[in-house]
Every structure is written in structure tokens, then in C-alpha cells.
């Protein structure tokens, strides 16, 4: 949704279409910048995504929030277009709505599933802060998440994955990634341009 005209936005509004905003992937691949402020003003539900690993690298939704909050400022010269509170809504309640789960997830309320993350704010990169929302959106990364709860079940505690062997997963992923690269004939093309120590 990076090449929209006013008529496209009107059609999205009329049809109730949801939009996934993936600013890191769009920037890395030089795809363009989505008209998120215009979409939101038109009543389009915009969620936040990371797109795929090659187009994003980290798939860190916390980092995605930061870029979603600042990329429009650089174009508009207006730092108020997409405030931190709106960005947090893109990543939570709006995203839940876009996936069709607006009732059971997306916010913390009695009767909803207990899906949430806890960020350890006692870190130098997060201090000082005056607004917890701004600190999470503009300063935190996935590495600052200390706890993850899904449907009331703790899956990460003190940054340790409880449900799977994390080292086994990343080793397998690394192995498979290299196999795919080799099979596609891209091993030489993906080598670093300069010497690596």
C-alpha cells in the first residue's frame, strides 16, 4: 500500500480493507512510504507488520514501531502526524482487528486472552524516560522484552524461551538458510563486498 492515490484510499475506506504497514521492508527494498497518516484520517484500519526476513532482517516489531513513528516525520516535516500512542495501537489493537481477532486479543481487558509482553525499563538505552509509551516505541527493541505471555501462559521469562530449545532453533534456521542460498545459486552473490575479520 505504498503507491496509493486519494481514490485508492477512498476505496479502502468504503470496503473496510485492513492495511499492513511494514516500513522497514518498504524502506530497505526502496518500495516507497505508505500514506499512513492519510489512511488513518480516512478511517482505514492500519496494523503494523515486519514483512519477510529478507526484506527486514530482524523481524523485530519493537524496531518496526520506531520506524513507523518517525518515517512520516521525515517526509512531512511534522513530528505530530503519527504519535507514539498511535504507533502502539497499530502494533496491538489495530493489528488484532486486521487479523480478525479484535475481540479476544489486542488489548488488556477482563474477558480477553492474556497476551502481553513486559519490557524491562531498567536499562541504559531506555533511561531517562518520561512517557512509558514513547520509551517503548522510540527506544526499546525486542532485546528489551523480558517476559512474554500468550493466552495466560508464560512463554518467555527473564528473556529465556520456555517452550522450545532456542539454540536448536537458530542453529537449524542458520543451516536451512545456507542450504536455500546454495540451492538458489546465490552463495557467491551474497558474500561480503570487502574483507571480513
What are the pLDDT digits (tens) for 105-157? Answer: 888 888 888 899 999 999 999 999 999 999 999 999 999 999 999 999 999 99
Q: What is the pLDDT of residue 69?
A: 94
Q: What is the pLDDT of residue 163?
A: 95
Distances (CA, A) of 155 to 147, 165, 171: 8, 12, 20
Q: What is the pLDDT of residue 72?
A: 93
Q: What is the CATH number of domain 6-163?
A: 3.20.20.140
Return the domain boundaries, the chain.
6-163, 164-197
C-alpha cell, 61: 516489531
Q: What is the pLDDT of residue 55?
A: 79
Q: What is the pLDDT of residue 31?
A: 93
User: Tens of pLDDT along 53-101?
Assistant: 777 888 899 999 999 999 999 989 999 999 999 999 999 999 999 988 8
* Dihedral sign from CA coordinates of 123, 124, 128, 132: negative
Q: What is the DSSP letter of 124?
A: G
Amino acid at each position: 500500500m505504498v503507491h496509493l492515490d486519494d481514490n485508492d484510499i477512498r476505496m479502502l475506506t468504503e470496503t473496510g480493507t485492513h492495511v499492513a504497514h511494514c516500513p522497514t521492508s518498504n524502506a530497505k527494498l526502496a518500495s516507497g512510504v505508505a500514506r499512513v497518516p492519510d489512511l488513518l484520517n480516512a478511517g482505514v484500519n492500519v496494523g503494523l507488520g515486519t514483512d519477510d526476513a529478507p526484506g527486514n532482517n530482524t523481524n523485530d516489531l519493537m524496531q518496526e514501531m520506531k520506524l513507523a513513528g518517525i518515517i512520516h516525520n521525515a517526509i512531512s516535516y511534522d513530528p505530530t502526524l503519527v504519535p507514539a500512542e498511535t504507533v502502539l495501537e497499530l502494533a496491538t489493537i489495530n493489528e488484532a482487528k486486521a487479523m480478525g481477532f479484535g475481540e479476544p486479543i489486542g488489548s488488556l481487558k477482563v474477558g480477553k486472552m492474556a497476551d502481553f509482553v513486559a519490557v524491562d525499563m531498567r536499562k541504559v538505552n531506555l533511561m531517562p524516560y518520561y512517557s512509558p509509551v514513547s520509551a517503548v516505541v522510540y527506544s526499546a527493541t525486542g532485546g528489551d522484552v523480558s517476559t512474554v505471555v500468550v493466552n495466560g501462559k508464560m512463554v518467555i521469562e527473564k528473556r529465556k524461551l520456555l517452550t522450545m530449545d532456542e539454540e536448536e532453533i537458530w542453529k537449524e534456521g542458520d543451516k536451512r538458510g545456507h542450504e536455500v542460498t546454495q540451492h538458489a545459486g546465490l552463495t557467491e552473490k551474497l558474500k561480503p563486498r570487502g574483507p571480513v575479520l
